[in-house]
Chain A
Amino acid sequence: NAGVTQTPKFRILKIGQSMTLQCTQDMNHNYMYWYRQDPGMGLKLIYYSVGAGITDKGEVPNGYNVSRSTTEDFPLRLELAAPSQTSVYFCASSFDRVDGYTFGSGTRLTVV
């Protein structure tokens, strides 16, 4: 099993550009999450999903959008990149609310 796969691993964006961070899991997990982590800081929850077709905001959703059309995929969309969105983005999944999270290896995004 691949677990949680995130692409790309690295990306440099110019201010105002858009991009989609991809996240795929092959564990048939119902719950999926997007976190961001700024240097030396903890993780902040951006969006999460409890199942296909259902998404909800986390702590820091502004500037991002998500969709969950399948159980496996949970892409994160940045519409107008800003320097404040420079961060490492982690996708995670879990089978249910109590199950431990499995994290991907992260996407390091720089906005210049």
Chain B
Amino acid sequence: LAKTTQPISMDSYEGQEVNITCSHNNIATNDYITWYQQFPSQGPRFIIQGYKTKVTNEVASLFIPADRKSSTLSLPRVSLSDTAVYYCLVGGFNTDKLIFGTGTRLQVFP
């Protein structure tokens, strides 16, 4: 399983763009990159998934460089409700299970 490394915590203010980078140097050819969001006392929630280049949905964008050894989750114009823990996971068709790391704790201030 590919190991991921993320910053432990980040602070931001409302209205700013937040970029959280995840390193996954030993990502395998078949692996996808998936990000989850977790609010206190709730289970994680799927945010976005990608394999290469850029993926965008109504919540976030995911940027993946050509070597795929890292990825960046971009949250546009964050609000207080985006305060949560964000997890980056790597896995694919050769992986039956995903291992969660400690995640990045994002705190958004007014």
Contact = CB atoms under 8 A, between A and B. Distances in A.
Contacts of B97: 33, 45, 48, 56, 58
Say whether chain B's binding surface is mostly helix, strand, loop, or mixed. loop
Interface residues of A, number: 26
Nearest to B98: A101
Say whether chain A's binding surface is mostly helix, strand, loop, or mixed. strand
A43 interface: yes
Interface of B: 32, 34, 36, 41-46, 49, 87, 91-103
17 contacts: A4-B43, A41-B102, A43-B44, A43-B87, A45-B98, A56-B96, A59-B99, A90-B44, A97-B93, A97-B96, A98-B92, A98-B93, A101-B46, A101-B98, A103-B43, A105-B42, A106-B41
